[in-house]
Chains A and B, each alone.
Chain A
Amino acid sequence: MDGPGSQEPTPGRSTDPITAVPVRYPERWVAAGVVLVLAAMFVNMLVTNPAFNWPFMLEHMFSDPVLRGVWVTLSATVLSMIIGILLGVILAVMRLSGNPILVSVSWLYTWFFRGVPRLVLAVLFGNIAILYSTIHIGLPFDNYWMPMLGLEGDARFFAIDARTLLTGYTAGLLALSLSEGAYMAEIIRAGLQSVDKGQTEAAQALGMSRSKIMRRITLPQAMRVVIPPTGNETIAMLKDTALLAYVPVTIELFYQLQAVGTRTYQIFPMLVAACLWYLAITSVLMVGQYFIERRFSRSERGAGGHVVGGAH
């Protein structure tokens, strides 16, 4: 009659807290044991297999050319994301403009750059100087209309040698940026379309112009939807800068690490070094992404300041 201690079931209402024996899951413990053994085997292999050659890796992982490679990787990530986002905004606005030519050009662009693998693009742009030995700035189609008008000469103002302009780094950066533009266009379009039509109507009714509505009302609200996938894109881009090695961009991180590996016949340690470098940088970016997303979910929640945690 007095609570959980008594053997007999108590009739009537019990107000005592429940202290029932929980259900046991022995099979989970068996599985956990197996996983633990496998993990131990893996760590053992890391330590004992001489092919890892950890001292060699540590010695060469922070050499000057490699550190320069890290810097190139970071700058290529930032630059290609900036260009990609700008291109994405333009393409998304084109896509939503309603003008049939702008819409189809935007669609075609996205179709092409999303359809071709980035590795292929990188190599393709590395060889683009085959198409253009020199790049001219001037009026288009002058070779057609100048003779038609009976004019001599050309309408080109100056020329640049493509082999100086499209060095490996520029060509690779171009490939990554143009490709990123296609993905960002889709992300930004989804963001813009996620903003309720009533927002535009309310702003129109207040007498705001189209461009003001875009800048002050629609884009800020689209950001909420655009920011998280853009963070993912940045992290993916950081990893994709390794493709620059195939342009080839010789100053790039992965190229440098591989170069050390092949030169010294220590291929595997340098590949592990590459893994560690990319892991380290992406981890930093992930932390940044976490804080940016938290900030944006807060401004969405309002000024109250009490963020509901653990939503990520």
Chain B
Amino acid sequence: MAEENHMTGLDQGLESTERTGPSSDALVVAENVHKSFGRLEVLKGIDLQVRRGEVMCIIGPSGSGKSTFLRCVNHLEKLSAGRLWVNGELMGYRQRRDRLYELRDSEIAAQRSDIGMVFQRFNLFPHLTVLGNVIEAPTQVKRIPKAQAVEHALELLERVGLPDKASAYPEQLSGGQQQRVAIARALAMEPSLMLFDEPTSALDPELVGEVLDVMRDLAEGGMTMVVVTHEMGFAREVGDSLVFMDDGVVVEEGSPTQVLSDPRHERTQAFLSKVL
């Protein structure tokens, strides 16, 4: 049938058609992920798997595409080619036979609600209090009763070390406190995956530690995390795996100790010699 040959741009390089997703212990599966902005190709075929409970750190020079990849995971960026599954669900599309159908806005929102994201610049909602920020999504998206959401939010604020800041507004907090609120806000949706996009890069040096402590706690609690970072110490200590990206490709992947102390590739060596 002619229909069978209907391939969209997203199908290139793929043979499998009816993939319902990857094996059950992989929470994130990226297959040949490409992303271009106009003519600029930022991701040139990323293949990665993140197991449940794994903490994966992604390092690399700026412009290497690591943040773009992270934004592809929760479909803030549309892939140009390739596939990406989270929790066995193809992100952003529905596949029937060989065809991809874009998901509706509400369906994409539902997929995202299971993935927490923490941004470099916090992006707290400035018109809401700390508590308002944390309960916004649970009450508006999950429609959890307010009292219950508040109770959960206060627990989370306790967990990130800010039990007394519930009624403060974001701009009254330091950068480190804001980022911890942002983490609590993401956790309030009880996601099965947390994405961190350079969470400490916008912080004064003395505030980095408090944010990393919260992230370490989270990792110890078994959360699956993908962390784009420049904090090599955190990557070595907390990460289960380390990915070095450069120029839109994964150059090297392995255990943090191995990659950091015994990098195999020249590009990795060159990068690490500058940052370590």
| Interface residues of A, Cβ cutoff 8 Å to B | 196, 198-199, 201-210, 212, 216-217, 220-221, 224, 299-304
Contacts and interface: CB of A to CB of B under 8 A. Distances in A.
Nearest to A196: B123
B123 A201 contact: yes
A246 B119 CA distance: 57
A199 B125 contact: yes
A303 B112 contact: no
Given A198-B121, A198-B123, A205 B169 contact: no
| Nearest 10 Cβ contacts at the A-B interface | A207-B113, A302-B169, A202-B123, A206-B137, A205-B117, A198-B123, A207-B112, A207-B141, A207-B109, A220-B127
Q: Give the interface residue-count category, chain B.
A: 35 or more
Given A206-B141, A209-B106, A221 B127 contact: yes
A56 to B, nearest CB: 54
Contact of B185 (A201, A206, A212): A206
Contacts of A301: 169, 171
Contacts of A196: 123
Nearest to B185: A206
Given A198-B119, A216-B140, A206 B129 contact: no
Contact of A302 (B111, B125, B137, B172): B172
B113 A206 contact: yes
Contacts of A199: 123, 125
Contact of B116 (A198, A203, A205, A303): A205
Given A198-B119, A216-B136, A302-B171, A208 B127 contact: no
B126 interface: yes
Contacts of B106: 209
Contacts of A209: 105-106, 109, 141
Given A204-B112, A207-B112, A208-B109, A303 B129 contact: yes
B141 A217 contact: no
A300 B128 CA distance: 10
Contacts, number: 81
17 contacts: A202-B119, A203-B125, A205-B74, A205-B112, A205-B115, A207-B109, A207-B110, A207-B112, A207-B113, A207-B189, A208-B136, A209-B105, A209-B141, A210-B105, A221-B126, A303-B167, A303-B168
Contacts of B137: 203, 206-208
Given A201-B76, A205-B119, A216-B136, 8 more contacts: A198-B119, A203-B137, A204-B76, A204-B109, A206-B136, A207-B189, A208-B140, A303-B168
B141 A208 contact: yes
Contacts of A203: 125, 137
B72 interface: no
B186 interface: yes
Interface in B69-120: 74, 76, 105-106, 109-117, 119
B121 to A, nearest CB: 6
A201 B123 CA distance: 8
A302 B168 contact: yes
A207 to B, nearest CB: 3
B127 A299 contact: yes
Interface in B121-139: 121, 123-127, 129, 136-137
A198 to B, nearest CB: 4
A216 B189 CA distance: 17
Contacts of A207: 109-114, 137, 141, 189
Contacts of B125: 199, 202-203, 217, 221
Interface in B37-89: 74, 76
Nearest to B110: A207
A216 B132 CA distance: 11
B113 to A, nearest CB: 3
Contacts of B129: 303
Interface in B184-223: 185-186, 189, 195
Interface centre among B76, B125, B129, B186 (most CB of A within 10 A): B125
Nearest to A200: B123
Nearest to A212: B140
A302 B168 CA distance: 7
Nearest to B141: A207
A159 to B, nearest CB: 41
Interface string B146-163: 000000000000000000
A203 B119 CA distance: 12
B177 to A, nearest CB: 13
A201 B141 CA distance: 15
B169 A303 contact: yes
A304 B136 CA distance: 21
